[in-house]
Structure 1
Amino acid sequence: MVRTATPPGEIGHRAPDFSLKGTDGKTWTRDTVRGDNGLVVAFICNHCPYVKAVIDRFVEDSAALQAKGVGVVAIMPNDWNVYTDDAPDRMVAFAVGHGFTFPYLIDETQDVARAYGAVCTPDVFGYGRDLTLKYRGRIDSSGREPSGPDTRRELREAMIEVAENDTVPAGQQASIGCSIKWRS
């Protein structure tokens, strides 16, 4: 595991389009997952300890954001031939086990992760109504630690601001996670 921090987001850049197969067998695009008030694109995987530490809070926050009209999608970019815990059949079990209310997609070619500039898991991008980048930061302030009463739900707070005001939230903190496992 190589620990990586996300670079600052290029605020204002448009969300790249994609067409990827989900764990549900359907093909999803950027436009079929977006909501009226924005879109969250999260690059995650099954095996990363950083993802495992926040996944249940991410699912909870995603449901709250979906209720505000923000679409949510998770994309698994890793080479599952080397990291077998990230294989598509295990993605299905992971999504079901954590109660995903959003599509979990497989980036087989890793082209989508490259187009977004994703570098780690979790790597989260939040877009406004016009699909321009408004947030690139962490899910919450806990990192790999258990959440506590002082844990700030940064993604949730930021994307509610985006949904309600379509503004760029201040004070964005980089996400830290495992580096994406690129194919050689």
Structure 2
Amino acid sequence: MKKSIQLVLGALIVFFVSSFVETDTLLGKGYKIGDVAEDFTLKNVDGKMVSLAGYKDAKGFIVVFTCNTCPYAVMYEDRIIALNKKYASKGYPVIAIMPNNINVKPGDNMQAMKKRAEDKGFDFPYLMDEGQNVYPKFGATKTPHVYILKKTNKGNVVKYIGAIDDNYKDASAVKTKYVEHAVDALLVGREVKQKETKAIGCSIKV
């Protein structure tokens, strides 16, 4: 009996640690404000490969690390859709990336991603970070975690990192729309005032 309890406790500890390992290992790492983000090529839910370089007319990008299985990410889906509808035509499209290890989170596999994109009517790329090579470069630790990039002669410069807004529970109760304020500033040539906020969400699973 005692041994069984120890095994159960051990399993719970492993689960807990694995759930938060990315927050611990990547906290403070990855891109900083002003860094130039490397381009990437990832598979979209339609089977096509997508890279930032393919967006010739873009002024920048709203890169969102998100997934199917995180309750926080699910609560933000409609707001992510709204961001793309508002800003894609202005030159700042949403690029959504699913960073989780699908062996840990099978509900985030490509088939599940395709269904989610169809059910929700995603009109932006929903890419899989297969091999988990992209999110560590950004330093993303949560789903959702947002990076706003501005296209410049130097490359895609990081202008904002963090949360979408200040209320994950209720879109109608949001007081500060961090991403919208940042993109609005960039569109008129102004500096982003609040460049970083704390991303609230589930830890990325490895």
Question: Please, what TM-score do these two structures have when normalized by structure 1?
Answer: 0.88
Provide the secondary structure at the position in 2 that maps to 1:10: coil
Matched letter for residue 75 of structure 2: A
CA distance in 2, matches of 1:132, 1:83: 31
Are positions 1:105 and 2:130 aligned together? Answer: no
Q: Which structure has greater helix proportion?
A: 2
Q: Which residue of 2 aligns with 1:18?
A: 40
Aligned pairs (5 A) from 1:23-62: 23-33=45-55, 35-62=57-84
CA distance in 1, matches of 2:205, 2:179: 24
Matched letter for residue 175 of structure 1: A
Are positions 1:122 and 2:144 aligned together? Answer: yes
Q: Which residue of 2 aligns with 1:178?
A: 202
Question: Please, what TM-score do these two structures have when normalized by structure 2?
Answer: 0.80
Identify the match of residue 185 of structure 2 among 147, 161, 166. 161
What residue ranges of structure 2 are gaps of 5+ in the alignment? Answer: 1-15
Are positions 1:139 and 2:164 aligned together? Answer: yes
CA distance in 2, matches of 1:71, 1:126: 10
How many residue pairs get aligned? The number is 181
Structure 1 residues 152 and 85 mapped into 2: Cα distance closer, same or farther (>3 Å)?
same
Q: Deviations over 1:50-69 (max 9, x none)?
A: 10111101111121111211
Indicate if the aligned counterparts of 2:28 and 2:139 stay in contact, CA closer than 8 A: no
Q: Which residue of 2 aligns with 1:70?
A: 92
Q: Which moved more, 1:47-56 or 1:145-154?
A: 145-154
CA distance in 1, matches of 2:192, 2:126: 26
CA distance in 2, matches of 1:71, 1:122: 16
Indicate if the aligned counterparts of 2:65 and 2:97 stay in contact, CA closer than 8 A: yes
Q: CA deviation at 1:35?
A: 4.9
Provide the secondary structure at the position in 2 that maps to 1:12: coil
Q: Which moved more, 1:150-159 or 1:133-142?
A: 150-159
CA distance in 1, matches of 2:204, 2:125: 20
Structure 1 residues 128 and 169 mapped into 2: Cα distance closer, same or farther (>3 Å)?
farther
Percentage identity across paired residues of the two chains: 34
Indicate if the aligned counterparts of 1:34 and 1:70 stay in contact, CA closer than 8 A: no
Q: CA deviation at 1:33?
A: 4.2
Q: Looking at both structures, which has the greater relative contact order when contacts are Cα pairs under 8 Å and sequence separation is at least 6? A: 1
Structure 1 residues 146 and 129 mapped into 2: Cα distance closer, same or farther (>3 Å)?
same
CA distance in 2, matches of 1:99, 1:52: 14
CA distance in 2, matches of 1:75, 1:109: 13
Q: Provide the aligned C-alpha RMSD in A.
A: 2.2
Q: Which moved more, 1:42-51 or 1:3-12?
A: 3-12
Indicate if the aligned counterparts of 1:38 and 1:162 stay in contact, CA closer than 8 A: no
Structure 1 residues 34 and 57 mapped into 2: Cα distance closer, same or farther (>3 Å)?
farther
Identify the match of residue 84 of structure 1 among 87, 103, 106. 106
What residue ranges of structure 1 are gaps of 5+ in the alignment? Answer: none
Structure 1 residues 69 and 124 mapped into 2: Cα distance closer, same or farther (>3 Å)?
same
Q: CA deviation at 1:100?
A: 1.3
